[in-house]
Copies of this chain bind each other. A is one copy, B any other.
Amino acid sequence: METLNNINKERLFHTLSKSSEIGAIPGKGLKRLALSDEDKEMRDIFKGWCQEAGLTLRVDDFGNMYGRREGKKALPPVVLGSHLDTQPEGGRFDGILGVLLALEVVNTLNDHNMETDRPVEIVNFTNEEGARFEPPMLGSGGVAGVFDQEYVYSRKDREGHSFLEEMQRIGYKGEEENRLGDFHSFLELHIEQGPVLEEENKQIGIVEGIQGISWMGVTITGEADHAGPTPMHLRKDALMAAAEIMHNMEKKIANTEVTVTVGKISASPDTVNCVPGEVYFTVDIRSTDDQLREGAVEQARALISEVCHERQVDVETAELWETEKIDFGKGIIDAIEKSVETLGYSSRRMVSGAGHDAKYINNIGPTAMIFLPSVNGKSHVPSELTLDEDIISGANVLYQTVLALAEE
């Protein structure tokens, strides 16, 4: 390993600052939903950067973009990247750092005329957030065989536009033959999105795996009534049923090892003086222990049934998404740790609470992640922040780890 700390900070912060303009919203946030006009604009810029770096660009049938730098040998590549899309009121860092720092790594290889044994590929996966098209990680899930093409293509946003239509509209429908092929290792750098690294004053998180996640959609159908003349005991109020369920999920099911989140809710007819006849809400349950998570899902189902039965309202629960806890590749975790030690950064091993593209890519080859601290643990908000010095540390760790893996 002949170079340390050789990334070009000026170039790195230029790309990050340019990205922060595309889809900017008040409070320094971004709204860059997957396959939107803003996503297209960012993709076009990223494509230009890849071309300037001399990478061979290809786009697959899920809109995933790959930039390849050849190696000395015809070996499977080292792959690194993440996603450039954001939540509707998201931040500037999230998965974006993972893509732009990957770009910085190949630019640094170029700066030093480094020839690696293995090719290096950088990647931008489509619709990681799941904010526009549910479920999340459709691009990485597609190439990993978790979702088939028809399923991914038919996902619809709230306005009824499909993934396929929107991918074609912005001109990023590529070929199936361009999908991620055999690879030596996949590395995803990402912000932590939680408070742990900051609290413990660590520069780098070495991520050993990802929590299991279960998503449910719950539709309660009671009876819409005028708020005035309908006595309480004759009501079938869908929202009061939902309130009882939400409150008891928080009190009785969530704990230090299991999180429960109701992120979306809507009531119909949604006027001040009508008892809501229908309510829809989502439930997100996570744990690093699959048995605890599955137990919590069972408890939630039982609670929902019990409350709705007692109140004589109808209920339907749909399983929207489920992934088990996963363990990353030991060899890559060790390689990250070795780079961190070489560079003299503080670090800790940890399990991610959030889903990431690395989760699905881990299904098809050795994978691990690098986390950078999130100020106040915040993410998916405009105030999301990772400090410049931590970004530089992350870029160096990524560069050193790629150098090591590319010679294996």
Interfacial residues, chain A to chain B (CB-CB below 8 A)? 87-89, 129-131, 134, 136, 192-196, 211, 213, 215, 223-234, 237, 239-240, 242-244, 246-247, 250, 254-256, 259-277, 282, 284, 286, 320, 352-355, 377-381
A sample of 18 more A-B contacts (CB under 8 A), given A228-B286, A272-B284, is A87-B271, A89-B224, A192-B229, A193-B226, A194-B231, A196-B229, A225-B378, A227-B259, A227-B263, A228-B352, A228-B353, A231-B256, A232-B250, A232-B256, A243-B243, A262-B276, A263-B271, A264-B267
Contact assessment for A275 and B261 in the assembled complex, using a CB-CB cutoff below 8 Å = yes
With both chains docked as a complex, state the minimum distance between the C-beta of A340 and any C-beta of chain B, in angstroms.
20
Contact assessment for B232 and A269 in the assembled complex, using a CB-CB cutoff below 8 Å = no
Q: How far, in angstroms, from A266 to B244 measured CA to CA in the complex?
A: 17
Contacts of A260 in B (CB 8 A): 232
Whether A194 touches B230, Cβ cut-off 8 Å, given contacts A271-B131, A272-B284, is yes
With both chains docked as a complex, state the minimum distance between the C-beta of A289 and any C-beta of chain B, in angstroms.
14
Question: What residue of chain B has the Cβ atom nearest to residue A285's Cβ?
Answer: B227
With both chains docked as a complex, state the minimum distance between the C-beta of A10 and any C-beta of chain B, in angstroms.
31
Contact assessment for A247 and B240 in the assembled complex, using a CB-CB cutoff below 8 Å = yes
Contact assessment for B247 and A194 in the assembled complex, using a CB-CB cutoff below 8 Å = no
Contacts of A244 in B (CB 8 A): 243, 247, 250
Whether A136 touches B355, Cβ cut-off 8 Å, given contacts A239-B262, A265-B265, is no
Whether A270 touches B259, Cβ cut-off 8 Å, given contacts A254-B232, A379-B226, is no
With both chains docked as a complex, state the minimum distance between the C-beta of A216 and any C-beta of chain B, in angstroms.
10
Contact of A381 among B195, B213, B224, B233 (CB under 8 A): B224
Contact assessment for A265 and B277 in the assembled complex, using a CB-CB cutoff below 8 Å = no
Total copies of this chain within the assembly:
2
Enumerate the 3 nearest inter-chain pairs by beta-carbon distance, A residue then B residue, closest first: A194-B229, A228-B353, A229-B353
Q: How far, in angstroms, from A333 to B347 measured CA to CA in the complex?
A: 81
Contacts of A225 in B (CB 8 A): 377-381
Contacts of A223 in B (CB 8 A): 378, 381
Instruction: Identify which of A87, A193, A226 gathers the most chain B CB atoms within 10 Å of its CB.
Output: A226
Contacts of A353 in B (CB 8 A): 226, 228-230
Contacts of A277 in B (CB 8 A): 381
Contacts of A261 in B (CB 8 A): 227, 237, 273-275
Whether A239 touches B246, Cβ cut-off 8 Å, given contacts A130-B272, A272-B134, is yes
Q: How far, in angstroms, from A192 to B231 measured CA to CA in the complex?
A: 13
Q: How far, in angstroms, from A30 to B261 measured CA to CA in the complex?
A: 36
Question: What residue of chain B has the Cβ atom nearest to residue A244's Cβ?
Answer: B247
Sampled A-B contacts (10; CB under 8 Å): A194-B231, A228-B355, A229-B352, A229-B353, A232-B256, A243-B243, A261-B274, A262-B276, A264-B271, A265-B265
Q: How far, in angstroms, from A134 to B274 measured CA to CA in the complex?
A: 14
Contacts of A352 in B (CB 8 A): 228-229
Contact assessment for A266 and B263 in the assembled complex, using a CB-CB cutoff below 8 Å = no
Q: How far, in angstroms, from A226 to B352 measured CA to CA in the complex?
A: 12
With both chains docked as a complex, state the minimum distance between the C-beta of A244 and any C-beta of chain B, in angstroms.
5
With both chains docked as a complex, state the minimum distance between the C-beta of A104 and any C-beta of chain B, in angstroms.
25
Q: How far, in angstroms, from A282 to B352 measured CA to CA in the complex?
A: 37
